[in-house]
Amino acid sequence: MYARQVQILRHLRPAALANTARPSPAVRALSTNTDAAHPIKRVVVYGSGLMGSGIVQVAATYNYQVTMVDLNPAMLDKGTGYIRSSLKRVARKKFAEDEAQQKHFIEDILSRVQTSTDPLAAVEQADLVVEAIVENVATKRNLFSSLDGVAPPHTIFTSNTSSLPIGQLAEVTARPTKFAGLHFFNPVPQMKLVEVVKTNDTAPEVIETLVDFCKSLKKAPVQCKDTPGFIVNRLLVPYMTEAIRLVERGVASPEDVDTAMKLGAGYPMGPFELVDYIGLDTTKFILDGWYKSGEGLAGDKLVAPSEKLNKLVESGRLGRKSGEGFYKY
Ligand SMILES: CCCCCCCCCCCCCC(=O)CC(=O)SCCNC(=O)CCNC(=O)[C@H](O)C(C)(C)COP(=O)(O)OP(=O)(O)OC[C@H]1O[C@@H](n2cnc3c(N)ncnc32)[C@H](O)[C@@H]1OP(=O)(O)O
Ligand SMILES: NC(=O)C1=CN([C@@H]2O[C@H](COP(=O)(O)OP(=O)(O)OC[C@H]3O[C@@H](n4cnc5c(N)ncnc54)[C@H](O)[C@@H]3O)[C@@H](O)[C@H]2O)C=CC1
């Protein structure tokens, strides 16, 4: 499955090799996990895309040691770029005109992030795995199956999947009691919500540990059972699919639907702005998955494929991440 590449453990910051940076008072104030009532110290995030990079950023901000894993250096560099640009926004807000403090804040956080293209070597040190790779059940199952034989017995496995049954991922491992959903929201640095999803086998103490972990990241965790879409996406998908049906029926333009929902329902983004933000590829994977085999949703016209969405994805227009989706960026 993976060309076992020479393990490239690259710090994001040359000086980090000396790792002489000590958390500044401002960062120390942010760092709360040292007194957190849970055993997690090293977080290993698989996937350095929109979500994985955000999860890495937030965990490192709150003083966890983090390893970000992806398929190749180019994807890792992309994820690093996401993190740096996001941290610059946070730093500018925190330290206004003080560029030295901004730089120190950013480099201090990045000093806690390692990158790797070797998934098995990375998991050997993991207390918590957060999987945020492509929304494909076979790819996720392959990853978890390969990690399970190498990860320490205490390591908790979680998935950031939007739509796939957590139980279908857990079943390829020998740690069903240490397997849960940990569903962050986009953009991870801004969105407070995390859905902690328990399967029929997840141990209560594992859920407790994950809830504590989320709180140490200053997130607001909610708990739910392992059903399609958990809480938010179960409500969001019908709303957003109806939006695209409106446009496909010629009722209104994407722009006017977005304006209507922002001004009429108070949403910060309309459905088409949002799906460009999420990624049209991920959106398609979710719809296709539910239409094919979603529990209680398979074959339901609510999640039937959208010709408009499919055409955009086929033409490589994936939203903000490719420079064009429903809108140009
Ligand atoms: C329609 C097509 C059919 C589709 C059918 C199928 C649909 C399937 C859908 C499935 C969904 C799957 C996704 C999933 O699993 C779950 C999700 O994540 S759903 C998405 C949830 N997120 C949202 O809804 C985001 C809504 N938007 C917003 O909250 C805001 O627009 C946003 C915060 C993104 C930007 O805020 P805005 O005011 O618009 O702009 P600013 O740029 O000024 O930012 C405000 C504020 O936030 C800070 N900030 C923004 N982004 C970042 C970042 N990446 N890093 C750090 N900081 C950031 C910025 O600095 C500002 O800070 P201030 O303190 O306010 O100055
Ligand atoms: N985009 C969004 O708004 C949200 C997405 N999610 C979920 O998070 C997961 C990731 O989504 P995004 O970050 O948007 O996708 P993305 O496409 O931005 O990133 C996916 C990353 O996974 C990497 N990858 C693919 N296969 C891999 C493997 N076998 N090993 C290591 N890395 C691998 C890719 O190279 C890519 O960098 C999906 O399950 C998605 O449903 C959850 C909440 C919100």
Q: Is ligand 1 within 6 A of the CB of residue 170?
A: no
261 Cα: distance to centroid of ligand 1 (angstroms): 15
Supply the residue whose CA is at minimum distance from atom 61 of ligand 1: 89
CA distance 30 to 124: 27
CB distance 106 to 13 below 8 Å: no
The pLDDT of residue 6: 43
Amino acid at 325: G
By C-alpha distance, which of 285, 184, 199, 134 is closest to 294? Answer: 285
27 Cα: distance to centroid of ligand 1 (angstroms): 24
CB distance 207 to 223 below 8 Å: yes
Supply the residue whose CA is at minimum distance from atom 12 of ligand 1: 162
- Structure tokens that stand for 272 in this block: 């088409």
Known binding residues for NAD(+): 47-52, 70, 135, 140, 162, 186, 321
Q: Which atom of ligand 1 is nearest to the CA of 278?
A: 13
Question: Annotated active-site positions, please?
Answer: 162, 183, 195, 233
CA distance 1 to 324: 31
By C-alpha distance, which of 169, 98, 84, 93 is closest to 131? Answer: 169
**pTM to 2 decimals?**
0.91
The alpha carbon dihedral of 124, 165, 227, 308 has a sign of positive
CA 112 to each of CA 77, 100, 142: distance values in angstroms, whole numbers, following the listed order: 16, 19, 28
The pLDDT of residue 28: 43
Among the bound ligands, name the one nearest to the CA of residue 232: 1
CB distance 209 to 127 below 8 Å: no
Contacts of residue 265, Cβ cutoff 8 Å, sequence gap at least 6: none
190 Cα: distance to centroid of ligand 1 (angstroms): 7
62 Cα: distance to centroid of ligand 2 (angstroms): 22
Question: What residue ranges line ligand 2, CB within 6 angstroms?
Answer: 46-52, 69-71, 75, 119, 132-135, 139, 143, 160-162, 184-186, 278-279, 282
Ligand 1 binding pocket mutation candidate from 89, 130, 247 (most atoms within 8 A of CB): 89
Q: Is ligand 1 within 6 A of the CB of residue 240?
A: yes
CB distance 48 to 76 below 8 Å: yes
Tell me the DSSP string of 276-314.
HHH-HHHHHHHHHHHHHH-TTTTT-GGG---HHHHHHHH
Q: Which atom of ligand 2 is nearest to the CA of 52?
A: 13
Q: Is ligand 1 within 6 A of the CB of residue 180?
A: no
Contacts of residue 226, Cβ cutoff 8 Å, sequence gap at least 6: 165, 166, 167, 181, 197, 198, 199, 200
CA distance 17 to 151: 25
User: Which region holds residue 144: left if phi is over 0, alpha if psi is between -120 and 50, else beta?
Assistant: alpha
Among the bound ligands, name the one nearest to the CA of residue 143: 2
191 Cα: distance to centroid of ligand 1 (angstroms): 7
Return per-residue pLDDT of the chain as tens, 329 residues. Answer: 444 444 444 444 444 434 333 444 444 444 445 445 568 999 999 999 999 999 999 999 999 999 999 999 999 999 999 999 999 999 999 998 899 999 999 999 999 999 999 999 999 999 999 999 999 999 999 999 999 999 999 999 999 999 999 999 999 999 999 999 999 999 999 999 999 999 999 999 999 999 999 999 999 999 999 999 999 999 999 999 999 999 999 999 999 999 999 999 999 999 999 999 999 999 999 999 999 999 999 999 999 999 999 999 999 999 999 999 999 99
CA distance 227 to 7: 37
Question: What residues form DSSP beta bridges with 182?
Answer: 196
Ligand 2 binding pocket mutation candidate from 76, 77, 133 (most atoms within 8 A of CB): 133
